[in-house]
Amino acid sequence: MRIGELALACAVSRDTLRFYEARGLIAARRSANGYRDYPADMVQLVLYIKTAQRLGFTLGEIGNSVAALWHAPDPDRAVTQLLQDKLNLIETRMTELDALRHELQQRLGQRCPLNP
């Protein structure tokens, strides 16, 4: 499948696909004339990348996990674990941010430490 066909099937731009390829998230074979040729299962991978981004995963996180997920004997279990790990990280960050908010609220009524 050519880049335009893949872009249309995944509702992304050709530039997005080129960016994903440059980041190593997807790969294309090159035909004799230099055109990118993607396998049909690349649609599934690009849609996964889009969904993962929407769920808050960075492209770096996606790149670190996509090969393992793609070749996992039980992809459902692997994705579930990945989602659980991300949820745990978010919950930890929320706790840290709540503590930071509380500290900032307490400091609002205090004198500036830079004033003599």
Asked whether residue 116 carries a pLDDT value surpassing 80, the answer given is no
- In the prediction, which pLDDT does 112 show? 83
- Give 10-69 pLDDT, tens digit per residue: 999 999 999 999 999 999 999 999 899 999 999 999 999 999 999 999 999 999 998 888
Angle at 113 between CA 109 and CA 116, to 5 degrees: 115
Look up the pTM and report it: 0.79
26 burial (CB, 10 Å; 0-12 / 13-18 / 19+) is buried
Give 7's pLDDT tier (boundaries 50, 70, 90): very high
Separation of alpha carbons 20 and 36, rounded Å = 13
- In the prediction, which pLDDT does 111 show? 85
- In the prediction, which pLDDT does 69 show? 87
